[in-house]
Amino acid sequence: MARRIGLTVVLLSLLTLVACAPKSVVVLIPDPDGSVGKVAVSNPGGSQVLQQAGQATFIEDSQHAPQAPVIMEQAEIQRRFGPALAARPLPPEYFFLYFHRNSIELLDTSLAQLPQILKAIKDRGSVDVSVVGHSDTLGNDQYNIRLSRQRAEAVAQRLTAQQVDPKTLEITSHGKRRLLVPTGDQVGEPRNRRVEVTVR
Amino acid sequence: MLANASKKTLLALVLTAGLLPAAPLAAQAQDVVIGSLRNVSGSAQIVRQGQSLPAQSHQQLMRSDVLRTGPDGSLGVILRDDSVLSLGPDSELALEEFEFSPVEDKLGLVTRMTRGTASFLTGKIGQMRPEAMKVETPDATIATRGTQVLVQVSGR
């Protein structure tokens, strides 16, 4: 008799567990740069905001509000999300290279950055690199489209000379239409004379 | 008699409606490249317009693609706005909406996760307009504000 009651209790608690097991979990983790953002989780039952690293909310179903945030231990995060975390691609890396005035010659400081770009391409096994040329507002539109195109091509050439596959480079130019530092027309601004390289 | 006439009119209306071109299922064109795959391992598929294709690293992704992994599968994604996603085993994620044209002021990234585990790292869409980026699950909507988030959806 006692045994039967015991079995019933076990079965009942199992049923309760199954019925109440939350269906979704949302966990906030830091960005690659270490900063922590914010995430709002909401459904018809209510909502919760996570804003601390490791905070998690469990959600039973769409009719029950997300539960009060709790801290999920690193080991538990790994247990649940290990394979997904391991499959994350490296985030894209950005490089800004600057040029002498009215020229496709790189500044020495920018020339010194080329090895870092090559390393980023290699580390990612990247097949998706954009090389986008820009200029300041000295001269007319057409002139600057051509100049910024030549700047992008000069950078691309330096990359392909170091065994980067040309097919993986997307070379474009915007002339003076996308200023990094807003200025009026016919203004020489060194920070606008640039090529932006994005390694994905 | 009158009732009969209106029935005929109704029938005519229904028939005419049937002849009108069907409204497109998705408002957005589906032949747009929105990103590519990375770190594909184990069994993983892309479901594109009803057809299942084996997923491979560096393969391009189109709008409305659905990503699926098997019990040993996992994969990573970089979208054109530099958002970074990944899926663990036994997972399914639909790339429902992707608009990244800052010049035309069109920004939107909506994904729907039906099972498994995933990570999401906000890209330019989320940085430019946080409310434009959403992850939908059967239980809740997740809106990130420039951050990295993990989501698990259990089978039901």
The alpha-carbon gap from B42 to the nearest alpha carbon of chain A, in Å, equals 11
What residues does each domain of chain A span?
A: 21-86, 93-199
DSSP 8-state assignment for residue A186 = T
DSSP assignment string, chain B: -HHHHHHHHHHHHHHHHHHSPPPPSSSS-S--EEEEEEEEESSEEEEETTEEEE--TT-EEETT-EEEE-TT-EEEEEETT--EEEE-SS-EEEEEEEEEEGGGTEEEEEEEEEEEEEEEE--HHHHH-GGGEEEE-SS-EEEEESSEEEEEE---
Q: What is the 3-state secondary structure (H, E, C) of A95-122?
A: EEEEECCCCCCECHHHHCCHHHHHHHHH
**What confidence category does residue B5 fall into, taking pLDDT thresholds of 50, 70 and 90?**
very low
* A6–B contact, CB cutoff 8 A: no
pLDDT at B26: 44
Q: What's the pLDDT at A103?
A: 94
Compute the C-alpha angle B118/B122/B123, nearest 5°: 125
Q: What is the distance in angstroms between the Cα of A186 and the nearest Cα belonging to chain B?
A: 23
**ipTM value greater than 0.90:** no
Q: What is the pLDDT of residue A91?
A: 84
The answer to whether the CB atoms of A198 and B82 lie below 8 A apart is yes
Cα separation, B78 vs A121, whole angstroms: 15
Which residue does chain A place closest to B140, by CA atoms?
A43
Query: Is B33 within 8 Å of chain A by CB?
Result: no
Is A153 touching B (CB cutoff 8 A)? no
Cβ–Cβ below 8 Å for A37 and B75: no
Q: Do A26 and B142 touch (CB under 8 A)?
A: yes
pLDDT tens digits, B17-68: 444 444 344 456 667 789 889 999 999 999 999 999 999 998 889 999 999 9
**Lowest-confidence region among A29-38, B3-12, B118-127:** B3-12
pLDDT digits (tens, 9 = 90+) for A46-63: 999 999 999 999 999 999
**Domain range annotation of chain B:** 28-153
CATH of A93-199, one of 2.60.40.420, 3.30.420.40, 3.30.1330.60, 3.40.50.620: 3.30.1330.60
Which residue has tokens 């270490």?
A34
Q: Are A28 and A51 in contact (CB under 8 A)?
A: yes
Q: In degrees to the nearest 10, what's the CA dihedral of A55, B96, A124, B42?
A: 90
Give the percent of chain B with pLDDT over 90: 60
Q: Of the candidates A37, A59, A88, which has its C-beta nearest B140's C-beta?
A: A59
Of residues B128 and A192, the one with the higher pLDDT is A192
Cβ distance of A29 and B144 shorter than 8 Å: no
Q: What is the mean pLDDT of chain B?
A: 84
Interface touch A31/B87, C-beta < 8 Å: no
Q: How far is CA B10 from CA A89, B7, B16, B21, in A?
A: 57, 5, 10, 19
Q: What is the pLDDT of residue B23?
A: 39
